[in-house]
Chain A
Amino acid sequence: MKNARINQDAALCKMHNHLTAGDNIAECLTCGACNSRCTWFDGTVDDHKGPIPRQIVRMATLGLEQQLVDSGMLWDCLLCNRCTEVCPMGITMDLVVRKARSLDIAEDLVAGDLKKGIKNRLELGDVNAFSKEDFVETIEWISEEFGDYVDDPEAEIPYDRKGSKFLYLPNPRELGLNLLHLTAMGKLFYGMKETWTLSSAHTDVTNWGYFVGRDDIARKMALMVVEPAEKLGIETLVLSECGHGYHVLKVLLEELIGRKPNFTVISIPELALEYARKGVLKFDPSVHPYKVGYHDPCNLARKSGVYDAPRELLAMCCEGVVELSPNREDALCCGGGGGMLQDSTSTKVRMTTGKPKAMQMKAMGLPNLATACLSCHRQLGELSKHYELGIKVDTVASMASEALVL
């Protein structure tokens, strides 16, 4: 039996002591609504029992910091905010968990991969330690190929071009494993007939400071994006398909850096939809002559309110969008959120956290699924393989690129 002394002076209580809706955990009614919504459902794996959301809030409320840290729930939580959606008091779970993760006594719990990625990002500018030289070399190489790709010898993939209308901020995976994805995004920009650029100072839409709950790190990382972008004098920062990247750079940015940036922020599917509506981008749905299911990334949908744009864009590029059930506000997390996917030791756990999603994909009864987050994309692909679902997973923007008629 562990003794737990209630402590209203605990650092965690103070962090939450803002008395505003959403982060005043003391207002918890103990109604238990959150418990019914945890994306883990009834799964456990090894010593991971998964979060019981109400226990997290309650331990935080009563200042039982050490107990919370020891519970193992902090890093089992996927920060999906399914529980938050139903909280009658509007308590935001991802905030509670991230604050607790940021406690000094919780530092040892941070996965090695995350620590390393954060170090790389802060010191070298990229989570994968992709250097500026590597970047330039890679971009110049794919730029050479790009002319053939869009059948226009003049076409290129530009970088560091001042005064461009758009600055595209890729996902680190687009510079490594998914290089073709970057080219595909280039095709969308090409089709928009607007000036655009990449930046050799920006390789990274991700913000792992968010996962570890460290506002100081998240702020630094955000500024690493904002300041060079402002120097380039762009109008709009276009984010790669990345859920938490969007949430941080679009929803949390002003609060994080304490000011408005000199540009607007949009995600690539939203931008593509805008240009499709203007009639600039034209898609041929027969390129994908089948129906496609759509998975709502938690960070993009529930946490940032982007529900319709990816669906509308997807609908232009295939035979039709099929809804998973439940969806939108109630969508199930892919099972890889909250920093879990960034931890290479998490695979086994992720196959449990993702089981409800996998069963949902199976129930959909279609061989094609799309989403608008590269992290979800990877997790969903792995789920399909692990559970032998035979479902091909794409991103919305890459399908749009494929269907784009030049």
Chain B
Amino acid sequence: MNETSPGVLIIGGGVAGMAAAQVLSDFDIPVHVVEKQDRLGGHSVKWACMATESCVNCGACLSIEMVDNVMGRQNVTPHFGASVLSVHRSGSGFDVTLEDGKTLSVQKIIAATGFSPFDPGKIASYHIGTLKNVITTARLNTLLQKEGVGEFLADNPAPDIAFVQCVGSRNRKIGNDYCSQVCCKVAMRHANKLLHVVPEAHITIFYMDLQIIGKETRSFYEGLAPNVDLVQGVPAEILESPESRKLRIVTEDRNDMTRIARQFDMVVLSVGMEPSADMEDTADITGLSPNDWGFFNTGEAALAQDVYVAGCARTPGDILSSMQDGRIVAGRVLEDMGIAGAFQETGGKKDLRIAVFGEGGQALATATAVAKRGYDTFLFGADVSGNAAENLHAMADAKILQVSGTAGNFRIYHEQNGKKKILPCSAIIAAHEPHVKSKNIGVSSEKIIDPARFSELLSDAAENGPADIVILLDYSGPEYKKWVRAALEDAIKAKSMGKNVSIIARKMLVHKADGQRLFDAARKEGVSFLRFEAPEDIAIEKTEKGFALAMKEATLPSSLDVRLDFDCLVLPPTIAAPADFQKKAAVLRQKTDAEGFLQSPNVRHRLTSSTRKGIFFAGTGHDETDADDLDVEIDDILTFLATRPFDLPEVDTGVVINEKMCAKCLTCYRICPHGAIVLGEKMKPRIVPDACFSCHLCVANCPAHAIESEAFANDAFSDMTEKDQTIIFACERSAYLAAAETALPDNVRLVKIPCTSRINIDVILKSLLKGASKIIIAGCHEGNCRSVEGSREAARGVRQTLRIPGMDDSRVVFAPVAANEPEKIKRIVSKA
């Protein structure tokens, strides 16, 4: 490692730092990762797997794979147990001195110092530390990780467990007047996991405004809500009951309008995120100026020349968004170093063509940004009039028929002016528009308007417009942050124009850095906020003036019937996935999610990618995004385009189709989850190594046994089998990483495979014939498999095997084990 080369210093080896390191290292840039711990991975590498029946999309397991990957890179030098002592500008870069005296010379610095959990000891009334069973999210996580929840709860089969949200967040008094963005999701996942581990547990989540934002969260919430008690109102004190010695929380009892003391066996404080304790030092040393919170997510914060901030150091966020931020920042560093898109030149693809699919403004915004970056851009569906970028080509009148090929060589078959045409392109971004429909509230009136119309009214007819306005959020469907923000902004504006404004909502989404401040500002301006529990609690009637509304207000005595008279009802629309999304997904050989939106929620391809290289998603057609989010998604995709070569295989395992044996049944073509098999002349299937992810699904499923794998042939597995051995076939991305951390008994052989789908009945039987005593196939959880079908396929193989008469069902087992479940693999092996 040449320490004077134009390297990059990354301070902090969490997911954001690692993601940045991966991108930079791909470009042969020497990367120094200074990490105060003795390992990479930050917080997330210690995070327990939250999967129950299936993956719940937290992304923690990915960080373990990242550590493995980053540690294996020659040009990434980790400096463990280290911190930066000083930074001096020198020429166009920096001379960096570490605390141990080591010196580095770098061109750029990325501060990825992450977050520190809020210290709940600062709120004495929670009595953490004194009351043993008051614990933090992190402690619960450790208990789950070590499979120690049962023991902690003294094997109580039906414990009462509470989660208290917003501990250290949304609190102006302690200076944290922001939402930490992740705690609601974390608590919901933790609650779900606890119910899985202790099925009879009774779980209560005390929340302020449950932040149900994003595609995974909405459907996850729907599944969880019936199984837990969701109580609005966040207690600020936990005492011990002198009699029962249980934890005691006093809340409002809405049934008889008094206070009620509830007792719990364990209370989990959902502590918020603060900037890492090291950020202050890092900022001093590198010349960064964070905002009052210590983050870089508002305008008051300032960066320094050649110093970048990524991940939670920039803004509180979850694992996937921190990874995304790391990637994007690395892309920006490359661009500033004049290296961005370098591979296109080295790979001989100076003029990448990018196709954008989509009917509306989001596709246009995406295509415009892509074109601006210099790519030849073809926009299918949306009108480009007025956007006369030379390299932005309108294909508004083209009808997409079919897409074939693989990344770098897609061919879009389309019909234009009655002619069938083919457009070759390198990558496709699907930015389709979902249905935006208004809610039916049973009253029709031209005085019911949507937020866009309301904005217009405020700018057009200040004096003549409506005087008493009600904005009704959350009424007949989940609210979207985009319209909550619009509601708050316009309410403040209307209030300043002397109008009466009430916002009625079930929950207040306070997304993004300034979400809470915007909500605070609206209240301060005198916008009335009313809270309801269920749509049935609201009745709206038409009157001469406009409307009369009667409601049960959730924070007022239930004996009161709150009345409002108003002349304008703002009703934000809701978003739905149109039926043709199935087709739009199918054209790209992709699946939709549980709600019918584009993109499967598979955590290995979120946030903007897909199971196929070169196919990306952006906008509200696939996830809950507002204009800012769309910009981030576009940045993410542009970074992929600039940094991820299409013409290099992800992993080259030498899978080939033996033409002599191929019966051209096209099973492989049909089932390949990555679209890596194309049809050549005479309909002969051919594997494109550049697009192949090496899952071996085709190898395991070819009825003619015509697809051969050099590295993972059937015989290769059985040849190494010894008598009386337990064999664990472990997916290299999940179970293998967990098992590698575990000391296994001598009679256990761990076999690393690229995907469990490789282990079909043939491999199982051959191994058993060779004398294996037991076969464990350990792969990803349902929904977590990078190749989507892998685990399901392996489980099917096990079922098939067990159907053989006389087969002992303890000898062949499929078990989902995530990379962050070492305890689980230990448990499974010990049963063997």
Chain A residues with Cβ under 8 A from B561's Cβ?
1-4
Other-chain residue from B208, B235, B259, B565 in contact with A42 (beta carbon distance below 8 A): B259
Contact (A326, B528) CB under 8 Å given A5-B563, A27-B520, A38-B259: no
Q: Which residue of A lies closest to B525 (CB)?
A: A26
Q: Hey, which chain A residues are within 8 Å of B127, CB to CB?
A: 326
Q: Is the CB of A35 within 8 A of B529?
A: no
Nearest CB in chain B to that of A67: its residue:
B560
Within 8 Å of chain A (Cβ to Cβ): is B232?
Answer: yes
Q: Identify which of B250-258, B292-300, B459-467, B572-580 touches chain A.
A: B250-258
- Cβ of B259 and Cβ of A62 under 8 Å apart? no
What's the tally of chain B residues with a CB closer than 8 Å to chain A?
53
Q: Please, how many angstroms separate the alpha-carbon atoms of A37 and B529 in the complex?
A: 23
Q: Do A36 and B250 form a contact, CB below 8 Å, given A4-B561, A6-B502, A55-B556?
A: yes
In the complex, the answer to whether B259 meets A52 with C-beta atoms within 8 Å is yes
A280 beta carbon closer than 8 Å to chain B: no
Inside 8 A of B172's CB, which chain A residues have their CB?
Answer: 21, 88-90
- Whether B124 sits at the interface, judged by CB under 8 Å, is yes
**Bound Cα distance A62, B529 (Å):** 9
Assuming the contacts A27-B523, A42-B260, A363-B242, asked whether A32 and B235 have C-beta atoms less than 8 A apart, the reply is: yes
Given A35-B250, A35-B251, A42-B259: A54 in contact with B555 (beta carbons within 8 A):
yes
| Given A31-B170, A41-B259, A42-B250, A58 contacting B555 (CB threshold 8 A) | yes
B526 touches A26 (CB 8 A): yes
Interface residues of A in 60-98 (CB under 8 A from B): 61-62, 64, 67, 71, 85-90
Indicate with 1 or 0, residue by residue over A316-336, a CB within 8 angstroms of chain B CB atoms: 000000000110111000000
B500 close to chain A: CB less than 8 A: yes
Q: Is B233 an interface residue (CB 8 A)?
A: yes
What does the 1/0 interface line of B331-366 toward A look like (CB < 8 Å)? 000000000000000000000000000000000000
Chain A residues with CB under 8 A of B130: 325
Residues of chain B with a CB closer than 8 A to A61's CB: 528
Interchain CA distance A326-B125 in the complex, whole Å = 8
Judge if B524 is at the interface, Cβ distance under 8 Å.
Answer: yes
Closest to A82 in B: B237
Q: Which residues of B contact A24 (CB under 8 A)?
A: 524
Flag whether A177 is at the interface (Cβ < 8 A): no
Contact yes or no, A37 B564, CB < 8 A: no
CB contacts (< 8 Å) of B173 on chain A: these are: 87-90
**Residue interface bits A295-339, CB-to-B below 8 A is 1, else 0:** 000000000000000000000000000000110111000000000
Alpha-carbon separation in the docked complex, A78 to B431 (Å):
59
Interface residue ranges, A against B (CB under 8 Å) = 1-6, 8, 17, 19, 21, 24, 26-38, 40-42, 44, 49-50, 52, 54-55, 58-59, 61-62, 64, 67, 71, 85-90, 325-326, 328-330, 359, 362-363
- Whether the Cβ atoms of A44 and B233 lie closer than 8 Å is no
Contact A37 B125 (CB under 8 A): yes
- Complex A-B, nearest 7 residue pairs according to Cβ-Cβ distance, in ascending order: A32-B233, A36-B235, A86-B236, A33-B236, A88-B171, A42-B261, A4-B560
Within the complex, the shortest CB–CB distance from B708 to chain A, in Å, comes to: 63
From residue B471, how far is it (CB to closest CB) to chain A in Å?
14
Does B559 sit within 8 A of A, measured CB to CB?
A: yes
Which of A4, A8, A21 is close to B526, meaning CB atoms less than 8 Å apart?
A8
Q: A30-B529, A52-B258 are in contact. Are A359 and B242 (CB under 8 A)?
A: yes
Residues of B within 8 Å of A89, CB to CB, are: 172-173, 520
- Identify 26 residue pairs between A and B in the complex whose beta-carbon atoms are under 8 Å apart, listed by A's number: A1-B560, A1-B561, A3-B563, A4-B563, A5-B562, A5-B564, A17-B526, A26-B524, A27-B523, A27-B524, A29-B208, A31-B234, A32-B233, A32-B555, A33-B235, A36-B235, A36-B250, A42-B258, A42-B259, A44-B258, A52-B258, A52-B557, A58-B553, A62-B530, A88-B170, A329-B124
> B46 an interface residue at 8 Å Cβ cutoff?
no
User: In the docked arrangement, what's the CA distance between A90 and B174, Å?
Assistant: 10
Cα-based distance from A5 to B502 in the complex (angstroms): 13
Q: Main secondary structure on chain A at its contact with chain B?
A: loop
Chain B residues at the A interface, C-beta cutoff of 8 Å: 123-125, 127, 130, 166, 170-174, 206, 208, 232-237, 239, 242, 249-252, 256-261, 500, 502, 519-520, 523-524, 526, 528-531, 553, 555-557, 559-565
Q: How many Å lie between the Cα of A328 and that of B555 in the bound state?
A: 29
**15 extra interchain contacts, Cβ-Cβ under 8 A, other than A27-B524, A37-B250, A54-B555?**
A1-B559, A2-B560, A4-B560, A17-B526, A31-B170, A32-B208, A32-B235, A32-B252, A37-B237, A42-B258, A52-B259, A58-B553, A67-B557, A88-B173, A326-B127
Return the chain B residue nearest A49 by Cβ. Answer: B258
Minimal beta-carbon separation of B469 from chain A (angstroms): 13
| A19 lies within 8 A of B524 (CB) | yes
A105 to B257 alpha-carbon distance, docked (Å): 23
> Which chain A residues border B529 with CB–CB below 8 Å?
30
Q: Is the CB of A28 within 8 A of B523?
A: yes
**Most-contacted residue by chain B among A31, A49, A328 (CB, 10 A):** A31
User: What residues on A are CB-neighbors of B520 within 8 Å?
Assistant: 27, 89
Residues of B within 8 A of A329 (CB): 124-125
Interface centre among B124, B560, B562 (most CB of A within 10 A): B560
Contact among A36, A41, A359 with B236 in the assembled complex (CB-CB below 8 Å):
A36
Q: Are B249 and A55 in contact (CB under 8 A)?
A: no
Cβ contact within 8 Å between A52 and B233: no
Whether A41 contacts B250 in the complex (CB less than 8 A), given A87-B173, A330-B237, A359-B242, comes out as yes
A302 to B563, CA, bound (A): 38
Nearest B residue (CB) for A33: B236
Residues in A with CB closer than 8 Å to B171 are 88
Q: Distance (Å) between the CB of A55 and the closest chain B CB?
A: 6
- Closest chain-B Cβ to A355's Cβ sits at a distance in Å of 11
Residues of A contacting B258 in the complex (Cβ-Cβ under 8 angstroms) = 42, 44, 49-50, 52
Known A31-B166, A33-B235, A54-B233: A71·B208 in contact at CB below 8 Å: no
Which residue in B249, B259, B523 is a CB contact (below 8 Å) of A26? B523
| Chain A contacts for B528, CB-based, 8 A | 6, 8, 61-62
Distance between A173 CB and nearest chain B CB, rounded to angstroms: 32
Query: In the bound complex, do residue B559 and residue A2 qualify as a contact, i.e. CB atoms below 8 Å apart?
Result: yes
Q: Shortest CB–CB separation between residue A92 and chain B, in angstroms?
A: 12
Known: A1-B561, A24-B524. A38 touches B239 (CB 8 A): no
Chain B residues lying within 8 Å of A359, measured Cβ to Cβ, are: 242
A19's closest neighbor in chain B, by CB?
B524
Whether A37 pairs with B236 at a CB distance below 8 angstroms is: yes
A35 CB contact (under 8 Å) in B252, B502, B523, B524: B252
Collect the chain B residues with CB atoms within 8 Å of residue A1's CB: 559-561
A63 — nearest CB in chain B belongs to which residue? B528
| CB-based nearest A residue for B520 | A27
Contacts of A36 in B (CB 8 A): 233, 235-237, 249-251
Closest to A329 in B: B124
Query: Which of B206, B208, B523 has its CB near the most chain A CB atoms (within 10 A)?
Result: B523
Which of B166, B232, B252, B556 is within 8 Å of A64, CB to CB? B556
In the bound complex, residues from chain B placing their C-beta under 8 Å from that of A21 are 172
A86/B237 in contact, CB under 8 A: yes
Instruction: Give every chain A residue within 8 A of B206 (Cβ-Cβ).
Output: 32
Q: How far is the CA of A89 from the CA of B166 in the complex (A)?
A: 14
Looking across the interface, which residue of chain B has its beta carbon closest to that of A40? Answer: B259
* Residues of the B chain whose Cβ atoms lie less than 8 Å from the Cβ of A31: 166, 170, 208, 233-234
Distance from A297 Cβ to chain B, minimum over Cβ atoms (Å): 18
Cα distance A4–B125 when bound, in Å?
A: 35
B234 proximity list for chain A (CB < 8 A): 31-33
* Residues of B close to A363: CB separation below 8 A: 242
- In the complex formed, the residue of A with least CB distance to B260 is A42
Bound CA–CA A332/B529 (angstroms): 32
Return chain A residues, CB-CB under 8 Å to B125: 37, 85-86, 326, 329-330
Q: In the assembled complex, which residues on chain B have CB atoms less than 8 Å from the CB atom of A19?
A: 524
Q: List, in ascending order, chain A residues with CB within 8 A of B252's CB.
A: 32, 35, 52, 54-55
The answer to whether A6 touches B235 (Cβ under 8 A) is: no
Closest to A48 in B: B258
Closest Cβ of chain B to A59, distance in Å, is 7
Indicate if the CB atoms of B556 and A59 lie closer than 8 Å.
yes
